[in-house]
Amino acid sequence: MAEEVVLILHGWGGNKPVHWQEILAGKLRENGSIVFYPIMPDPTAPELNAWQERLRIELAAIEQAHPGARISVLAHSLGGINWLHFAAANSSSGKQLADRVLLVAPPYVMPEAPPVDAPPSVTGFFPPPFNPTSLSIAAKETVLIASDTDDYATFDQSTGYAAKLDIPIHLLKGAGHISPYYGYGEWPWALEWALRRADLPPVPREG
C-alpha cells in the first residue's frame, strides 16, 4: 500500500499557533502521519516566483523521500492560489502531483483594488490561471471550500472560481475566511479528511 503524505500550504501572513492548519499539522504528527508543512518565503510579503520555487522544492523532497506516496494537499487562502499557478505550470509535463487537493477559502483579489490589509506583492498572484485540464493532471480530485461571509471573496466569486476550474464547490455557512478570527482554530473535520476517515462535504467546526 502506498504511503500517505499530507502537504499543508498556508496563506499570506503564515499561520499563528491557533490556526486550524497549525493544529492539524501537530495532530497528524501525533498520529504518526507524514506531514510536510513548509513556511513560504516572506509570508507577510509573498512573492509568486519565490512561493512557486518553495512549492517545487517541497514536492521534490516528498518525491525523493516517499516515492509513489498518495499526497493530500490542504491549501488555505493564498496557498490555494499558489497551487493553481503551480498546477498550470506543471500541465505540459503531464505529471500527477497529488492524489487530492482541498482549496480552502482562496481569495478573490482585483490587482487594481487589493484588500487594504494585503501587501502590494499579493497582487502578483492575480488573476490566477483558470485551466481545468491542468488541475485534472495535477490531482485526481480538486475541491473548493468557501464561505458566504468571507472578507476576501464573496461566495459568488468563489463559485465563479469553481466554474472556471470545473471543480466542485462546498459551502461552509458563516465561516468567514475559515480562519481563527472566525472560530477556525481547530477544525476536527479537516483532521478526519486528512486521515481519510471523512468524506465531503466538509463539516463546520462546533460552536
In a domain, 136, yes or no: yes
Decide if 167 contacts 143 (C-beta within 8 A): yes
Model confidence pLDDT, tens digit, residues 138-156: 999 999 999 999 999 999 9
Find the mean pLDDT for residues 55-71. Answer: 98
As a whole number, the mean pLDDT across the chain is: 96
**CATH number of the domain within which 153 lies:** 3.40.50.1820
pTM over 0.95: yes
The range of the structural domain enclosing residue 41 comes to: 4-194
Residue indicated by cell numbers 480538486 = 142
Decide if 3 contacts 33 (C-beta within 8 A): no
Q: How many domains does the chain have?
A: 1
Model confidence pLDDT, tens digit, residues 94-144: 999 999 999 999 999 999 988 888 889 999 999 999 999 999 999 999 999
In a domain, 74, yes or no: yes
Decide if 144 contacts 168 (C-beta within 8 A): yes
